[in-house]
Amino acid sequence: MCVEDRISSFPDPILCHILSFLPIKEAVRTSIISTKWRYLFASISTIKFDGYSMSGLTDRNIDSFKNFVDRLLKSPDQVRLDCFRLSHEICLWNDGDHDFDISGWICAALCRGVKEIDLQLGYLEDILPAVLFTCGSLVTLKLDAVGHKFKFPSDVCLGNLKTLHFRDSFFGDCILRFISNCHVLEDLAFIECDFYNTSVINIQTPLLKRFILDFDLGEFGDLKYVVVINAPTLVYFQYTDVVAQGYTLSTMKSLEKAHISISGCGTIDSQTIATHFIQGICNVRSLRLTINEGVFRTSQLPIFHNLIEFEFLGRGFNGREIWLVEFLHRMPNLKTLTINFPAFEVPSCLSFHLKEIEVSCFSTHIIEMVSYFLDNAMILEKLIISMDALTVTQKKKARNQLLQLVKSSKKCLKLVVIL
């Protein structure tokens, strides 16, 4: 039977686009299909060297791999690149015996008008070329360098950069000048990063829509700084840190979702500062809050008029449920509540709005709390109970109790039990 090869009849640009979704090793292997496919892999627009593409390298063939990358990136008449990515596995081979020209590879990608560069390297000293920070084609830049202290040139100009991510790195004041020269930035992330010799972390980015500020709490929780954020169009905000020395947050009228993990020392000053911080995100519609104690002063909390989804993850609480109840009274339009907390009563102000409740880490001693929910949440539609922490016998007993409660409540609701 003769099988027609329809894929090979596609135009070369379409075939190259298809190859761009394959690991580079698999893309190269297609060269044996036919004469038409022999050099197609050299014209792919996405070049990624990760652990899989470097598997099987030995001292014998590592130089061949290096020459292959050189030819792939630096040969003339190549198509524009959409993405160039290097993972940390390449550092395992970049030693004195095998000196990869990583800086040259980055420059070659920039010369081909690359749109996205993603470098996951354990060592970036003297690797990043200066031209990287003046590239007009770059839209996305992601840099992951374990423990690296970044220093940037003064003439940064990335006119089209919309996404900028850093991970596991250190920064001085130069990063703030860097960001101020990225005028169309929409997505900014500092993940497990920290600032040194910096008294003010000042983010002034009017077009920013997504912002992650995730500090390494374990090692640098005693650093002192003020956080200033002016991002009026922000849609997503993630913040992880101890309470800073102060906060100045512009009104975030467009904020849809916020994930906040904040720790305080319990002093009056710390509570006042943390409360000022939470006031800055009072327009949020969906909030996930993780705290280890009542860090806010409830008498000064704003009303969260727009908040319809709230997930609470309390850690190390001891008798703090009263604080949480007071906090919930500030959410008059809440519709979905998820808690990870052993004992808690729903305020009566939520009786006419709450439609869904999820209780994680369920234990048998809070069955009365569930009963209270069923009695007082007048328009409740869905109740989700997670029992993964219980024994088989406890699960059976708790399930029977829940079914009886739902039956007795005479409510038409959906009960979801996760065993």
Measured in whole angstroms, the distance separating CA 243 from the mean position of its chain's CA atoms is: 20
pLDDT at position 385 over 80: yes
**Which of 215, 254, 214 has its CA nearest to residue 231?**
254
Q: How far is CA 191 from CA 169, 211, 212, in A?
A: 8, 10, 7
More confident residue, 283 or 6: 283
Counting residues of the chain whose pLDDT is more than 70, the rounded percentage is 73
Question: Does 374 score more than 50 pLDDT?
Answer: yes
Q: Which of 124, 158, 122, 121 is nearest to 141 (CA)?
A: 158
User: How distant, in Å, are the alpha carbons of 66, 194, 214, 215, 306 from that of 239?
Assistant: 41, 13, 6, 8, 20
Confirm if 165 and 142 have CB atoms less than 8 A apart: yes
390: tokens are 């219980």
* Closest among 127, 137, 187 to 157, alpha carbons compared: 137
| pLDDT number for residue 353 | 77
225-229 average pLDDT score: 90
Q: How far apart are CA 405 and CA 417, in angstroms?
A: 13
Answer yes or no: is pLDDT of 296 > 80. Answer: no
DSSP string, 98-119: S---HHHHHHHHHHTT-SEEEE
pLDDT at position 57 is 65
pLDDT at 220 over 50: no
Give the pLDDT confidence score for residue 392 in this predicted structure: 81
pLDDT band at 16 (very low <50, low <70, confident <90, very high): low
**pLDDT at position 319:** 46
Rounded Cα distance between 300 and 330, Å, is 10
Q: Where are the beta strands (DSSP E) in 264-381?
A: 286-291, 309-314, 336-340, 356-359
Q: What is the pLDDT of residues 35-71, one digit of tens each?
A: 666 566 666 777 777 766 666 666 676 777 777 777 7
Q: Which residues of 38-59 are buried (b: 16+ CB within 10 A; e: fewer)?
A: eebbbbbbbbbbbeebbeebee
Specify burial of residue 406 (Cβ count, 10 A radius: 0-12, 13-18, 19+).
middle
Percent of the chain scoring above 90 in pLDDT: 21
Q: Domain coordinates of the chain in residue numbers?
A: 303-418
Of 120, 110, 134, residue with least CA distance to 166: 120
Sign of CA dihedral 96, 98, 102, 108: positive
pLDDT of 125 above 80: no
H or E stretch covering 218: helix 217-220
- 69-73, 95-99, 117-121, 325-329: which has the highest mean pLDDT? 117-121
Nearest-5° Cα angle at 290, 285 to 291 = 125
Query: Highest mean pLDDT range out of 9-13, 53-57, 89-93, 386-390?
Result: 386-390
Comparison of pLDDT for 237 and 293, the residue scoring more: 237
Please tell me the total number of residues recorded for the chain in this structure: 419
State the average pLDDT for the chain: 79
Nearest to residue 337, comparing CAs of 315, 365, 369?
Answer: 369
State phi, psi for 282 to the nearest 5 degrees.
Answer: -70, -10
Write the CB contacts of 329 (distance below 8 Å, at least 6 apart in sequence). Answer: 347, 349
Top pLDDT among 191 and 128 is at 191
Task: Say whether pTM exceeds 0.75.
Answer: no
Sign of the dihedral through C-alpha 42, 27, 39, 7: negative
φ, ψ (nearest 5 deg) of residue 122: -75, -10
pLDDT band of 260, cuts 50, 70, 90: very high
Given this model, what pLDDT does residue 254 score? 94
Q: Which amino acid would we find at residue 399?
A: R
> What values do phi and psi take at 145, rounded to 5?
-135, 110
Pick left, alpha or beta for residue 219 (phi over 0 → left; psi -120 to 50 → alpha; otherwise beta): alpha
User: Does residue 12 or residue 120 have the better pLDDT?
Assistant: 120
Q: SS3 for 262?
A: strand
Checking if the pLDDT of 338 tops 70, the result is yes
Question: Which pLDDT does position 335 carry in this prediction?
Answer: 92
Q: What is the mean pLDDT of residues 200-205?
A: 91
Q: Using alpha carbons, select from 3, 84, 78 the residue that is nearest to residue 40.
A: 78
Q: What pLDDT is attached to residue 184? A: 95
Distance (Å, rounded) from C-alpha 247 to C-alpha 68?
51
Rounded mean pLDDT of 278-290?
Answer: 93
Contacts of 109 (CB under 8 A, 6+ apart): 47, 73, 81, 84, 117
Stretch 316-334: mean pLDDT, rounded? 74
Contacting residues for 72 by C-beta, under 8 A, at least 6 apart: 42, 47
Task: Specify the CATH number of the domain 303-418.
Answer: 3.40.50
Q: pLDDT (tens digit, 9 = 90+) per residue, 140-175?
A: 999 987 767 777 877 888 989 999 999 888 887 788
